[in-house]
Structure 1
Amino acid sequence: METLIQIEQIFPSLTWRIRHLAMYPDMPFDSVKLKDDFDGVHFGLYADHKLTGVVSLFSQGDVYQFRKLAVLPEAQKLGYGTQLMEYILDFCKIQKATALWCNARVNAKEFYFKFGFHETKDTFFKDGYDFVVMELEF
């Protein structure tokens, strides 16, 4: 039977559990809360009515940044991250964004290449991971 997928806007607090489990399970729960969470727009992917993936979107004018794209570990590699990315790309186009960027873990940058993102020269190390800033212009 095919899985029913729905993506909808959610409250910031609903993102925290999935961020924690998927991205930083060994860190304190509060470490996944962003100080500007309540300034962003958050989307949840529901697989058969269970919140399974999340992404948070922040804007400064017509430039958007997405943060904390996360899918529950047991649901990774099922295309849910791709569906969330496609959703926020469409959302940004509707909002007339000129660019979308993220701080990508270096080990995940191939994922973002699939959507047309390119690497910048900006890199950093945080919380045990190497990151690179990736951008997409519309």
Structure 2
Amino acid sequence: MIIKSITAKETWPLRHAVMWPQMPFDFVKLPEDPDGYHFGLFIDKELVSVVSLFQTADGIAQFRKFATLANRQGKGYGAKLLSHLIEFAQKQGFRALWCNARADKIAFYKKFGMGETQEFFTKENVKFAILKKVL
């Protein structure tokens, strides 16, 4: 297993396949992608999990488009990648981290100290919660 920096373009196929396969491919591209940090977790040279990190305010960052291939979920790869991202954010000097989590994944994020803000929204009929963590 290897975790390394990748380009935004490298994240797009996995983002699309896992998160929004029913939408056009460009739906997973973000205007902020050129300004973000992008990480990939590889198993035997196969990209199996991705996440992107963006500064949203002074000392605050948001991670987005966190996705792991369906056939690789439940094996700890996402947990390893999220731990790497949190450590990276701390080293970069961010004081807080937040995300828009799919409602059915909240328990996963709570394992990493992410707390619910009681803010929710719906996008394309999927319910999301905003979670935060002080670093």
Q: What stretches of structure 1 of length at least 5 have no aligned partner?
A: none
- The secondary structure found in structure 1 opposite 2:121 is strand
- The secondary structure found in structure 1 opposite 2:16 is helix
User: How much does 1:95 deviate?
Assistant: 1.1
CA offset digits 1:21-80 (Å, max 9, x no partner): 111111111111111111101001111111111000001321110001001111111111
Q: Superposition RMSD on alpha carbons, in Å?
A: 0.8
After TM superposition, what 4+ stretches of structure 1 lie above 2 angstroms from structure 2? none
Normalised by the length of structure 2, the TM-score is: 0.96
Aligned pairs for 1:119-138 within 5 A: 119-138=116-135
- The secondary structure found in structure 2 opposite 1:100 is strand
Normalised by the length of structure 1, the TM-score is: 0.94
User: How much does 1:93 deviate?
Assistant: 1.1
* Sequence identity percentage: 44
State how far apart, in whole Å, the 2-side matches of 1:8 and 1:34 are. Answer: 20
Match of 2:13 in 1: 17
- The secondary structure found in structure 1 opposite 2:13 is helix
State how far apart, in whole Å, the 2-side matches of 1:72 and 1:124 are. Answer: 25
Q: What stretches of structure 2 of length at least 5 have no aligned partner?
A: none
State how far apart, in whole Å, the 1-side matches of 2:9 and 2:116 are. Answer: 30
Match of 1:73 in 2: 70
